[in-house]
Amino acid sequence: MRDVAIVATAQRPSQIGTQLTSVELILPVVAEAVKNAGIQRQDVGFWCHGSCDYMSGQPFSFVAAVDAIGAWPPIVESHVEGDGALALYEAWVKLQTGECDIAVVFANGKTTSGPIDRILTLQADPYFVTPLWPGFDAMAALQARACLDAGVVTEEQMAEVAVRSRRDAKSNAVAHLKGDYTVDELLSGPYTTAPLRAHDCSVPVDGANAVVLAADDVARRLAKRPAWIRGIDHRIDTQRLGARSLTTSDSTRIAAEKAGVGRDKVDVAEIYAPYTHQELLLRSAMGLDATTTAINPSGGALVANPAMAAGLARFVEAAEAVFAGRADRAVAHSTSGPCLQQNLVCVMEGD
Amino acid sequence: MSGASIGSLHGDSFVAPLEVAYPYSRTVGTALSRFFTSLKEGRLEGTKGSDGRVYFPPAEFDPQTGEQLTEWVTLPETGHVVTWAWQSTPAPDQPLDRPFAWALIALDGADVPLLHAVDAGSIDAMSTGMAVKVRWAAERGNGITDIACFEPVSDVPGGRS
């Protein structure tokens, strides 16, 4: 195996209702990440993009994104119909093949330009679920009720996740929903999709981010303290909500084991949890202890969820914690699909 | 393509319709064909998994082992709520146009529940474990929406229909 690290990152502040095109969202973050790595565009051996055509309502809309990276001289590029975190996985595999030494991964999500709750329902079973149009919030609410009934979480614990996320977001320039709240204050709010309240659901925003990956000595040359990827694994549960436990996350547990999360202390964990109860489930599935691990110190996806970029944002935040020495060992997690169907877990370490 | 015209002149402009759709039909395969045909005929059929668990709707392949499932089980119209959520403001194309519950519902005799709507009238009428029964759609032959929704089964004597 080659040693592969994140050596540079960039992300744009969250916005609601942006009028920018996807290309305009991507171009500045790609340029900034390339600049932060101290490389030229021509040095990049592989480009990998994560986004969702269903969100732009146009097949092959992602092809336009090539305008943001420039196709001359000829480039090697790929697109993942999904979160940028999955594009990062593809780039990591590409670097492992030895075909290139530097890869750039980027993601964009114009989440507020369409009815995202309805659009994401297209990820559900196309014969049994999507024709009923339940929406992502309602499916998450079914999971939350199952967790509450089983005593796995409480509404107070769920509100505590929101309070901590919004408080931590105050020091994050790219976060959207920030401020000081109390559990009582949040629990006094009405249910939106019971048993979920507004604070239990992430805030859809428009955003984009980019990550530069490099292998071996190239990574050592490009970064003072690279965030070395020591383990990365992606697992998927059945799409049938009724056929899997909604009070645990087997795919997360297996991915965390394969990625080696439990081998040593984790200083920072950036978890893509679009709903408060899901953060609690994911922490438990990965065996993370909130008394020794800083959970989502960026505020997490709860305070800013640019769909298809929110998973890669976790990698950006975890890598930056390693760059800055705030973490010797960090975990980045990404999810997709209804009720945490797919989960990707990555362990990064500083030298 | 549908029989729509290819377009016409409106003043100086030629205007043509653009239908964003897959303008063809497809087969859903042997297992789902049997399931949807039986729904149209008012029967509820599931399959038995390799571990003996009964799936409704049927699983064509066992989610745990990938094994093809061929043993069919006919199920009753009654079941119970495994978990539920309250849709206070219905959205377009959902099964009901008034506040209702989403639920995972295990039919009596089934182990793996399905997601559907419960026409409970009020959130106060909902609880985990409550008994429900199928309400059939007036017109059938449209897939999973042949089940219009589920409705609570009253525990009051004489309340059962």
Closest-approach residue (CA) in chain B for A237:
B63
Best of B56, B60, B86, B94 to mutate (most A CBs within 10 Å, chain A): B86
pLDDT recorded at residue B46: 97
pLDDT recorded at residue B2: 45
Look at residue A40 and tell me whether its pLDDT is greater than 70: yes
pLDDT recorded at residue B107: 98
Q: Is the peptide bond before B57 cis (omega within 30 degrees of 0)?
A: yes
- Classify residue B159: in a domain, yes or no: no
**How far A62 CA sits from the closest chain B CA (Å)?**
18
Amino acid making up residue B33: S
Look at residue A343 and tell me whether its pLDDT is greater than 50: yes
Query: Per DSSP, what are the bridge partners of residue B118?
Result: B101, B150
Interface of A with B (CB under 8 A): 117-118, 127-129, 131-135, 138-139, 141-146, 149, 191-196, 238, 240-244, 246
Among residues A277, A259, A262, which one has the least CA distance to residue A340? A277
Indicate yes or no: CB of B55 within 8 angstroms of CB of A243.
yes
pLDDT recorded at residue B6: 79
Task: At A310, give phi and psi (nearest 5°).
Answer: -70, -30
- Classify residue B51: in a domain, yes or no: yes
At A299, the pLDDT band (50, 70, 90 cuts) reads very high
Indicate yes or no: CB of B87 within 8 angstroms of CB of A193.
yes
**How far A104 CA sits from the closest chain B CA (Å)?**
33
Q: Is B57 on the interface with A (CB under 8 A)?
A: yes
Look at residue A203 and tell me whether its pLDDT is greater than 50: yes
Indicate yes or no: CB of A243 within 8 angstroms of CB of B82.
no
Find residues 62-121 of chain B whose CB sits inside 8 Å of chain A.
63, 82-88, 91-95, 102-104, 106, 112-117
Look at residue B42 and tell me whether its pLDDT is greater than 70: yes
Which residues are within 8 A (CB) of A282 and not within 5 positions of it... i.e. 6 or more apart?
A249, A252, A271, A273, A333, A335, A340, A343
pLDDT recorded at residue B160: 41
Q: Kindly provide the b/e burial profile for residues A241-280, where b requires at least 16 CB atoms within 10 angstroms of the residue's own CB.
A: bbbbebbbbbbbbbbbbebbbeeeebbbbbbbbbbbbbbb
Average pLDDT taken over every residue of chain A: 97
* C-alpha to C-alpha distance for B145 and A273, rounded to whole angstroms: 31
Average pLDDT taken over every residue of chain B: 91
Is 3.40.47.10 the CATH number for A4-115+204-224?
Answer: yes
Average pLDDT over residues B39-51: 96
Percent of chain B with pLDDT over 70: 93
Average pLDDT over residues A267-286: 98
**How far A59 CA sits from the closest chain B CA (Å)?**
10
Query: Per DSSP, what are the bridge partners of residue B51?
Result: none
Look at residue B3 and tell me whether its pLDDT is greater than 50: no
Look at residue A43 and tell me whether its pLDDT is greater than 70: yes
Look at residue A225 and tell me whether its pLDDT is greater than 90: yes
Q: Where in chain A is the domain with CATH 3.40.47.10?
A: 4-115+204-224, 117-202+228-349
Best of A53, A142, A149 to mutate (most B CBs within 10 Å, chain B): A142
Indicate yes or no: CB of B91 within 8 angstroms of CB of A135.
yes
Count of pairs with CB atoms under 8 A, one residue in A, one in B: 91
pLDDT recorded at residue A302: 97
Amino acid making up residue B111: D
Indicate yes or no: CB of A134 within 8 angstroms of CB of B113.
no
- Classify residue B13: in a domain, yes or no: no
pLDDT digits (tens, 9 = 90+) for A72-107: 899 999 999 999 999 999 999 999 999 999 999 999
pLDDT recorded at residue A174: 92
- Classify residue B74: in a domain, yes or no: yes
- Classify residue B112: in a domain, yes or no: yes
CB-CB contact of A309 with A286 (8 Å): no
Average pLDDT over residues A258-268: 98
- Classify residue B2: in a domain, yes or no: no
Indicate yes or no: CB of B83 within 8 angstroms of CB of A246.
yes
Q: Which residues of B touch A118 (CB under 8 A)?
A: 91-92
Indicate yes or no: CB of A134 within 8 angstroms of CB of B94.
yes
| Concatenated DSSP letters of A183-215 | HHHHHTSPEEEETEEGGGBPPB-EEEEEEEEEE
At the top level of CATH, the class of A117-202+228-349 is alpha beta
Percent of chain A with pLDDT over 70: 100
At A56, the pLDDT band (50, 70, 90 cuts) reads confident
Q: Are strands A294-295 and A102-110 parallel, antiparallel or unpaired?
A: unpaired
CB-CB contact of A329 with A293 (8 Å): no
CB-CB contact of A6 with A195 (8 Å): no
pLDDT recorded at residue B158: 46
Look at residue A231 and tell me whether its pLDDT is greater than 80: yes
* C-alpha to C-alpha distance for A86 and B152, rounded to whole angstroms: 43
Interface pTM, i.e. ipTM: 0.94
At B26, the pLDDT band (50, 70, 90 cuts) reads confident
Measured between CB atoms, which of B84, B106, B143 is closest to A127? B143
pLDDT digits (tens, 9 = 90+) for A153-202: 999 999 999 999 999 999 999 999 999 999 999 999 999 999 999 999 99
Q: Which residues of A touch B117 (CB under 8 A)?
A: 132
Hunting for tokens 């994560």 — which residue is that?
A50
- Classify residue B15: in a domain, yes or no: no
Q: Which residues of B touch A142 (CB under 8 A)?
A: 83-85, 102-104, 115
**How far A16 CA sits from the closest chain B CA (Å)?**
22
CB-CB contact of A81 with A53 (8 Å): yes
pLDDT digits (tens, 9 = 90+) for B78-135: 999 999 999 999 999 999 999 999 999 999 999 999 999 999 999 999 999 999 999 9
Amino acid making up residue A194: A
Look at residue B161 and tell me whether its pLDDT is greater than 50: no
What's the token pair of residue A162?
């929101």
* C-alpha to C-alpha distance for A123 and A107, rounded to whole angstroms: 19
* C-alpha to C-alpha distance for A39 and A30, rounded to whole angstroms: 12
pLDDT recorded at residue B25: 83
- Classify residue B62: in a domain, yes or no: yes
pLDDT digits (tens, 9 = 90+) for A9-29: 999 999 999 999 999 999 999
Measured between CB atoms, which of B82, B84, B143 is closest to A131? B143
Which residues are within 8 A (CB) of A238 and not within 5 positions of it... i.e. 6 or more apart?
A244, B63
Looking at the structure of chain B, the number of domains it has is 1
SS3 state at B151: strand
* Residue A236 DSSP one-character state: E
Best of A132, A200, A250 to mutate (most B CBs within 10 Å, chain B): A132
Among residues A51, A117, A99, A125, which one has the least CA distance to residue A312? A51
Measured between CB atoms, which of A117, A193, A242 is closest to B85? A193
* C-alpha to C-alpha distance for A221 and A8, rounded to whole angstroms: 12
pLDDT recorded at residue A151: 98
Which residues are within 8 A (CB) of B135 and not within 5 positions of it... i.e. 6 or more apart?
B119, B147, B148, B149, B150, B151
Percent of chain A with pLDDT over 90: 97
Look at residue B1 and tell me whether its pLDDT is greater than 60: no
CB-CB contact of B18 with B2 (8 Å): no
